[in-house]
Chain A
Amino acid sequence: MEDTRPLLLEVEDLKTYMFLDEGTVHAVDGASFSVRRGETLGIVGESGCGKSITARSIMRIVRKPGKIVNGKILWHRTPPSPGNLGQTLDLTTLPEQGEEMRNIRGGEIAMVFQEPMSSLSPVHTIGNQIMEVIMLHQKVSKQEAREKTLLMLNQVGMPQPSRIIDRYPHQLSGGMRQRAMIAMALSCHPDLLIADEPTTALDVTTEAQILSLMRRLQEELGMAIMFITHNLGVVAQMTERVIVMYMGRVVEDASVDDLFYDPKHPYTQALLRSIPRMGSKALGEHTRLASIKGTVPDPFNLPKGCPFHPRCEHAMPGICNVIDPGVTQVGPNHTTRCHLYGDPSQVIPLESKTPASSVA
């Protein structure tokens, strides 16, 4: 069961804060996780849990007043081979607009956004936008770039690519725009594709088309995918491993099977119990959903201790509202941040979770 694929991305104790007039929001507050080459990692959480800011931190496109204040984002550019340690960069140390970061962004790490209409330029044709990406990252002529664009549009299942290439985004349907976004993201064969709620704005039959397309493309191109979503159905169908985020931190990290069949963190358990499951009514099962009491806490006024304790049905007074839980190993490749599984007097420091990696 040990995963032997080399590591591609390691995020260690990442903290991205928003410095607003009203106060500081700890959007990402000590998140640690890793992605292996070719792996599909799901990131789940409710709105405001920091999943999108995590993605933006990796791409180094966090908007002001947001800022990465702590942690490492290790990008293993080339995998280690015998006699070669491989090349590793810490993305947090690179200048946002520097040449290296610009090469990585779009070239090695690409991103697909939720709203294709707001991430595509309305005044350029689909073709020109994809060609721009290709010519920026590869040394090719305009003619070659156009050919590559056509090939890419074909690969993402765009109907009549030779006509669509000269269309503007507003002339396409939602599903076609999302296909164009994916074509653009994959045009330079990235090692990592970050998909931020790629199907949330789509209808369910179009969603099925796009998910099936992404699965096929991953098989063909072999890139790793970070799938950010709040839809547990999409997570179950698309990912190998999942991290659950709550208030800017990773509260559980498990294989998709463990997450659905053996969830450990009370938040994960509650989340799974709160979704209506299709087919359960036909079986005459439950008529009420289990809901999580209360709401997500005010980001300016975080509760002390574990941020989930005011909503947690297992909260232990004197512990959960005082001490912030550390990361506990609860199984092979399965960790959680909850006092139920560790001795709260011995909070494991975060640093010891991931093996130290050297920065080349």
Chain B
Amino acid sequence: MAEHLETSKPLLEVKNLKKFFPIKRGFLSKTIGHVKAVDGVSFFVREGETLGLVGESGSGKTTTGRMIVRAHDPSAGSIIFRDRDMGEVDIATLEKSQLKRLRRNIQMIFQDPYSSLNPRMTLLDIVGEPLLVNRIASGKQLTHRVAELLEVVGLRPQYMNRYPHAFSGGQRQRIGIARALAMNPQLIVCDEPVSALDVSVQAQILNLLQDLQRQFRLTYLFVAHDLSVVEHISDRVAVMYVGKIAESATTSKLFTTPKHPYTEALLSAVPKPDPRIRTEPMILSGEVADPANPPSGCYFHPRCRYKIDKCVSEAPVLREIEPDHFVSCHRAEELKLTGAFGPVGVQAPKHSDSQERVEMEKGSV
């Protein structure tokens, strides 16, 4: 999908974004340091595409997503968004009074469908609330629009007067998606939307998100930790490590020819669903660096098998080493790294003819 979009202007441009959370101690709550949750992150999302933002816990991916909807105020940096109504705005410095208008066009889908829906509100209230608050619709019109939205996400409109507890995890996630769609947004920040779901339901939701994207020309920022899910849904992927972007590229480039040693290790660590390809993954030694007290130079150097002296003393900057491939590693050009390619799993066998015949015979019994 990315090819024909290559030339389109980015819808969202994040530049040198930072978020430091103060660490407070003692009676007077003196600030004794900062957790650098997001420490100079830059990326862009083109209109109509999906950017996957991956990283391990504590890498700052969720904080980044939240700053884009201004659930957190950034400490520094800019977030340029081409708003349909307001034109080009910097979300990072937008006045509080304008946030309401912004949030019509940027919506969020949350990870936990159990805690993100108010148990005391019916589906009509939940999905209709954004329409009511923004005075788009009320009364009969509202009911009609909510029914339409529920249908779009694959729920029966008759359920609109029920409460969330009556629904399963996958159905609840659909409710959250319907609510996000209510204002017909340009950008949806999806924060781990399928990680709380079972495999079979996960596939339903991923397919739904893809269908909706095509139908409504949506742009997604897809925050997740599951690399196979991210590969499946994204046009481009950005990998975060301890508050910084380690690498970003088109999905196929990142997965076949990674240029950052951390990406290589991540890809290698994913257990491949094929028993005939049993590989001993590249094991990273040690732990993820502490964002309150990061190591010198490149944050990844204590765990990196390719480190040189320069990595300890000097922090690498994110640079474009080939069109649309950004890496923050001193040795990006010289290293030959392994992608996720080798083990391409077999497709689960389709039902053979003989099996189908058996079924036919059985059916006629």
Interface residues in chain A, defined as those with a beta carbon under 8 Å from any beta carbon in chain B: 46-47, 159, 173, 175, 203-209, 211-212, 230-239, 256-257, 259-263, 269-283, 285, 287-292, 295-296, 314, 316-319, 339-341, 344
A208-B281, A233-B270, A276-B206 in contact; A314/B359 too (CB < 8 A)? Answer: yes
Asked if B204 is an interface residue, CB under 8 A from chain A, the answer is yes
B362 CB contact (under 8 Å) in A159, A238, A340: A340
Task: List residues of chain B with CB within 8 A of the CB of A235.
Answer: 273
**A269–B255 CB distance below 8 A:** no
What is the distance, in angstroms, from B317's C-beta to the closest C-beta of chain A?
24
B345 CB contact (under 8 Å) in A231, A238, A277: A277
**A212–B207 CB distance below 8 A:** no
Task: List residues of chain B with CB within 8 A of the CB of A212.
Answer: 280-281, 283
- CA–CA, A209 and B272, complex, Å: 15
**B358–A340 CB distance below 8 A:** yes
Among A204, A212, A262, A280, the most chain B Cβ lie within 10 Å of the Cβ of A204
What is the distance, in angstroms, from B3's C-beta to the closest C-beta of chain A?
12
Task: List residues of chain B with CB within 8 A of the CB of A275.
Answer: 199, 203, 228, 273
B287 CB contact (under 8 Å) in A175, A261, A270, A272: A175
**B351–A291 CB distance below 8 A:** no
Among B232, B256, B265, B355, the most chain A Cβ lie within 10 Å of the Cβ of B232
What DSSP secondary structure best describes chain A's contact surface? loop
**B265–A205 CB distance below 8 A:** yes
Asked if B269 is an interface residue, CB under 8 A from chain A, the answer is yes
Among B170, B345, B346, the most chain A Cβ lie within 10 Å of the Cβ of B345
Q: Which residues of B from 221 to 245 have beta carbons under 8 Å from A? A: 225, 227-229, 231-232
Asked if B184 is an interface residue, CB under 8 A from chain A, the answer is no
**A203–B225 CB distance below 8 A:** yes
Asked if B73 is an interface residue, CB under 8 A from chain A, the answer is no
Asked if B13 is an interface residue, CB under 8 A from chain A, the answer is no
Q: Which residues of B from 241 to 291 have beta carbons under 8 Å from A? A: 251-252, 255-256, 265-276, 278, 280-284, 286-288
10 nearest A-B pairs in the assembled complex, by CB-CB distance: A233-B271, A272-B348, A276-B232, A291-B203, A208-B269, A274-B203, A203-B56, A292-B200, A46-B198, A289-B203
Asked if B159 is an interface residue, CB under 8 A from chain A, the answer is no
User: Which of B30-38, B62-70, B135-143, B336-344 sits within the interface?
Assistant: B336-344
- CA–CA, A318 and B363, complex, Å: 8
What is the distance, in angstroms, from B201's C-beta to the closest C-beta of chain A?
7
- CA–CA, A277 and B346, complex, Å: 9
B207 CB contact (under 8 Å) in A263, A272, A289: A289
What is the distance, in angstroms, from A222's C-beta to the closest C-beta of chain B?
19
**B199–A269 CB distance below 8 A:** no
Task: List residues of chain A with CB within 8 A of the CB of B347.
Answer: 273, 285
A230-B199, A261-B346, A281-B255 in contact; A236/B275 too (CB < 8 A)? Answer: yes
Among A206, A283, A319, the most chain B Cβ lie within 10 Å of the Cβ of A206
Identify the closest chain A residue to B280 (Cβ): A212
Asked if B171 is an interface residue, CB under 8 A from chain A, the answer is yes
- CA–CA, A239 and B275, complex, Å: 8
Task: List residues of chain A with CB within 8 A of the CB of B346.
Answer: 260-261
Interface residues in chain B, defined as those with a beta carbon under 8 Å from any beta carbon in chain A: 56-57, 168, 170-171, 198-204, 206-207, 210, 225, 227-229, 231-232, 251-252, 255-256, 265-276, 278, 280-284, 286-288, 339-349, 351, 355, 358-359, 362-363, 365
- CA–CA, A289 and B252, complex, Å: 18
Identify the closest chain A residue to B198 (Cβ): A46
Task: List residues of chain B with CB within 8 A of the CB of A290.
Answer: 203
**B344–A283 CB distance below 8 A:** yes
What is the distance, in angstroms, from A290's C-beta to the closest C-beta of chain B?
7
**B232–A319 CB distance below 8 A:** no
- CA–CA, A261 and B346, complex, Å: 8
- CA–CA, A187 and B204, complex, Å: 43
- CA–CA, A206 and B265, complex, Å: 11
- CA–CA, A324 and B288, complex, Å: 50
**A277–B228 CB distance below 8 A:** yes
Task: List residues of chain A with CB within 8 A of the CB of B207.
Answer: 288-289, 291
- CA–CA, A302 and B264, complex, Å: 46
Task: List residues of chain A with CB within 8 A of the CB of B232.
Answer: 276, 280-281, 289
What is the distance, in angstroms, from B193's C-beta to the closest C-beta of chain A?
14
Among A230, A256, A282, A340, the most chain B Cβ lie within 10 Å of the Cβ of A282
30 contacts between A and B (CB under 8 A): A203-B56, A203-B225, A204-B266, A208-B269, A208-B271, A208-B283, A208-B284, A209-B283, A212-B280, A230-B198, A232-B199, A233-B270, A236-B275, A237-B272, A260-B274, A260-B276, A261-B276, A262-B349, A278-B340, A279-B340, A279-B341, A279-B344, A280-B345, A281-B231, A282-B251, A285-B347, A295-B171, A296-B198, A319-B365, A344-B365
- CA–CA, A64 and B281, complex, Å: 41
Among B168, B225, B228, B278, the most chain A Cβ lie within 10 Å of the Cβ of B228
What is the distance, in angstroms, from B302's C-beta to the closest C-beta of chain A?
13
Identify the closest chain A residue to B55 (Cβ): A203
Identify the closest chain B residue to A272 (Cβ): B348
Task: List residues of chain A with CB within 8 A of the CB of B365.
Answer: 316, 318-319, 344
Identify the closest chain A residue to B278 (Cβ): A237
Given A46-B198, A282-B340, 5 other A-B contacts at CB below 8 A? A208-B269, A208-B271, A260-B276, A274-B203, A279-B256
Task: List residues of chain A with CB within 8 A of the CB of B227.
Answer: 204, 278
**A233–B272 CB distance below 8 A:** yes
Among A209, A276, A288, A341, the most chain B Cβ lie within 10 Å of the Cβ of A276
A283-B344, A295-B168 in contact; A316/B280 too (CB < 8 A)? Answer: no
What is the distance, in angstroms, from B260's C-beta to the closest C-beta of chain A?
14
- CA–CA, A205 and B362, complex, Å: 48
- CA–CA, A242 and B348, complex, Å: 16
